[in-house]
Amino acid sequence: MARPQQNIEFVRGDTLPIPIEFYDFKDNPLDITGNVLWITLKKNVSDRDADAVFQKRIVCPENTDSMNGTGLVVLTSAETKLLNPGVYLYDIQHVIPGDPPVVSTPMSGTIKIHPDITQNDG
């Protein structure tokens, strides 16, 4: 699994890919096809999800990466250009569907967004 604490920096308006690798207890890649990854950015840990600065849900597709335990959370340039520069708390939550679902938080930390100089993306 990914390191639990990882701080990220990027420039507003840039595409931000965040790969995460998942393994079982024997260190074999875990098939995450159909699993859900959530990324949430907040100013304060106590903020409600409804008040998050940003939140995105990704369903892991049926492809070779997912079958080999690699998930990819991507914040597109269109999404990041709407975020104000600053430092935010974030986490990525992994949900294995079921009754009940299995939930874990494989990655969290801070995201520092730097202002963009060039704002023309076309």
How far apart are alpha carbons 17 and 85 in whole angstroms? 18
The predicted-structure confidence for 46-63, as pLDDT tens digits, reads as follows 999 999 999 999 999 999
The predicted-structure confidence for 102-114, as pLDDT tens digits, reads as follows 999 999 999 999 9
Q: Provide the CATH number for the domain formed by 8-114 in this structure.
A: 2.60.40.3350
74, 18 in Cβ contact below 8 A?
yes
Taking 60 as the threshold, does the pLDDT of residue 1 lie above it?
no
Tokens of 18: 């965040």
The predicted-structure confidence for 28-44, as pLDDT tens digits, reads as follows 999 999 999 999 999 99
Q: Is the entire prediction scored with pTM above 0.95?
A: no
Taking 70 as the threshold, does the pLDDT of residue 3 lie above it?
no
